């Protein structure tokens, strides 16, 4: 039986360049990305719990990373760095299949880290860490 799996290379990460939204632009030359969604568990164990741990649902959060080939003259790479150092809350969209037809995820957040990597035996790459604020929605 043939697989219905989707090739990972079709995915893309989009980001706006200002806190007022504006046009979302793909982070160009993207190699890999990951999106993580979690919900904390709050310990509600008491003496009435009969010795078994009890939990209630806590707050949710989301974060992500993206690695891309760094092109120093590329506007999206310059903007990602600028949004980070200016501490700007922007809109992000994550497209696992490369288009909205396959579904996507959207939320507001911050670039919380940027890493430039210049290996001797590979291409110049950069990676960004993104932390969400508020809910991540599925489209």
pLDDT digits (tens, 9 = 90+) for 109-131: 999 999 999 999 999 999 999 99
3-state secondary structure of 6: coil
What separation in angstroms does the CA of 88 have from each of 37, 72, 81, 91, 133?
Answer: 21, 21, 11, 10, 12
Q: Domain extents for the chain? A: 11-38+58-138
Cα–Cα distance, 59 to 91 (Å, whole number): 21
Predicted confidence at residue 1, as pLDDT, reads 73
The CATH classification number of 11-38+58-138 equals: 2.30.110
pLDDT band at 33 (very low <50, low <70, confident <90, very high): very high
pLDDT, one tens digit per residue, over 64-101 is 999 999 888 877 778 888 888 999 999 999 999 888 88
CB atoms within 10 A of CB 39: 11
pTM: 0.83
3-state secondary structure of 139: coil
Rounded to a whole number of angstroms, the CA Rg of the chain reads 19
């Amino acid at each position: 039986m043939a697989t219905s799996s989707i090739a990972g290379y079709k995915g893309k990460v989009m980001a706006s360049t200002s806190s007022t939204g504006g046009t979302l632009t793909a982070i160009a030359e993207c190699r890999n990305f990951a999106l993580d969604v979690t919900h904390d568990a709050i310990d509600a164990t008491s003496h009435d719990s009969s010795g078994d741990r009890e939990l209630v649902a806590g707050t949710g959060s989301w974060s992500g990373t993206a690695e891309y080939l760094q092109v120093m003259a590329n506007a999206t790479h310059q903007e990602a760095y600028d949004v980070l150092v200016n501490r700007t809350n922007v809109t992000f969209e994550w497209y696992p299949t490369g288009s909205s037809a396959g579904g996507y995820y959207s939320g507001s957040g911050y670039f919380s880290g940027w890493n430039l990597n210049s290996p001797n035996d590979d291409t110049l790459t950069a990676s960004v860490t993104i932390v969400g604020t508020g809910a991540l929605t599925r489209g």
